[in-house]
Amino acid sequence: MPKQTSGGESLDILNSLRAVAALMVCLFHSAFLLEPFFPAAAGILDIGQYGVYVFFVISGMVIPLALEKSNYSLRDFPVFMTRRIIRLMPPLIASASIVALSSWLVLDIDTLELLQQWAASISLTAPLFNIPFVNEVYWTLYVEMQYYIYIALAFPLLHRASIHWQRVLLLSLLALSFVSLLTGGYEKSKLPFQLPVFLMGYITFLYYRERISKSEFFAWLLLCTGVCYFLIGYLHGFGYRIGTIAALTSLMIAHVHRGWRPLSAIGEYSYSFYLIHWPVISALCYVGAGWMKTTWGAITLFLLVQLIALLCARLLYGIVERPSMNSSRKIAYRHKT
């Protein structure tokens, strides 16, 4: 994605926000270690589960930005999807394989059933076959893949439409989010449920590229947040944190720009961190089960989870994610010279 707009403003904030999102999720998933001794702290860390919506807003912005930079057209759809798959799948396969292997070694689980879960996980088809992911966090990647398909198909129309028709299309997409009320099962793993959040990212892209004014940006943001509150918060019963965190993320990207270097460094491998943190939590809890019984043991284990997850993520990034990222960049759109 471009690092600067025509006005020369950088977007260093994105990697800092990616780091915050991944850290939030890791802290949330490891909060159970502190809960017996510090229930109030565990309650505060509960907000970490909403870090995934920071990722969704960022994707809602950076994917259109990358498509615009590439002069994307509908005929580039196969290339775009190939690039995304090569970029994302190797770390996913590595993570799922670690989880599946450790589960096979430690748990009394049917081998064939585990292989089915592993295959459904690395192909991101588990919800289609009503099979659980080997790692529950993969549901967000399933949502992301739906978004990639949607934006790759819709972007040429959205991008080339006049401002009037673009507004009509965006309102139509917001209305489409109410389809989530008609779908059964696990609503939040389906794109219509998440559309208001991704659209917050898209309007941030429009504002960043100076296609809408500041006042229109705030009007759209208010509308998307309102839909989140009403649809996701009230009708679906998920509360108001999702809409609030998504809106704050959009505002941060639009108006802060500069990140914090230590966070930005973690943000470089936030995807690997997101994928590997749960296996690290599981492994440390298995090895250090006795520590969980005392206050200082639980605190030590909690802190070790964060540190070792970061170290393992950096290793996964260097061995798997960075090479897959470089490979995806080598696949050029045919019309580019």
pLDDT digits (tens, 9 = 90+) for 187-212: 788 899 999 999 999 999 999 999 99
Gap between the Cα atoms of 36 and 53, Å rounded: 28
- Give the chain's length: 337
DSSP per-residue codes, 5-26? -TT--B-THHHHHHHHHHHHHH
DSSP per-residue codes, 44-90? HHGGGGGHHHHHHHHHHHHHHHHHHHTT--GGGHHHHHHHHHHHHHH
Gap between the Cα atoms of 97 and 119, Å rounded: 10
Q: Read off the pLDDT of residues 169-178 as tens digits, 9 standing for 90 and up.
A: 999 999 988 8
Report pLDDT for 172.
92
| CA-wise closest residue to 188 among 139, 252, 146 | 139
Segments making up each domain of the chain, as ranges:
13-329
8 Å CB contact between 313 and 265: no
The residue behind tokens 């941060």 is 252
Any idea what DSSP says for residue 102? H
Gap between the Cα atoms of 322 and 86, Å rounded: 11
Q: Read off the pLDDT of residues 281-326 as tens digits, 9 standing for 90 and up.
A: 999 999 988 899 999 999 999 999 999 999 999 999 999 999 999 9
Whole-model pTM? 0.93
Q: Read off the pLDDT of residues 10-22 as tens digits, 9 standing for 90 and up.
A: 578 999 999 999 9
Gap between the Cα atoms of 113 and 136, Å rounded: 16
Residue 6 confidence (pLDDT) above 60 = no
8 Å CB contact between 324 and 90: yes
8 Å CB contact between 320 and 91: yes
8 Å CB contact between 116 and 122: no
Report pLDDT for 19.
96
Position 288, amino acid = G
Q: Read off the pLDDT of residues 47-98 as tens digits, 9 standing for 90 and up.
A: 999 999 999 999 999 999 999 999 999 999 999 999 999 999 999 999 999 9
Q: Higher-confidence residue: 148 or 186?
A: 148
Residue 4, SS3?
Answer: strand
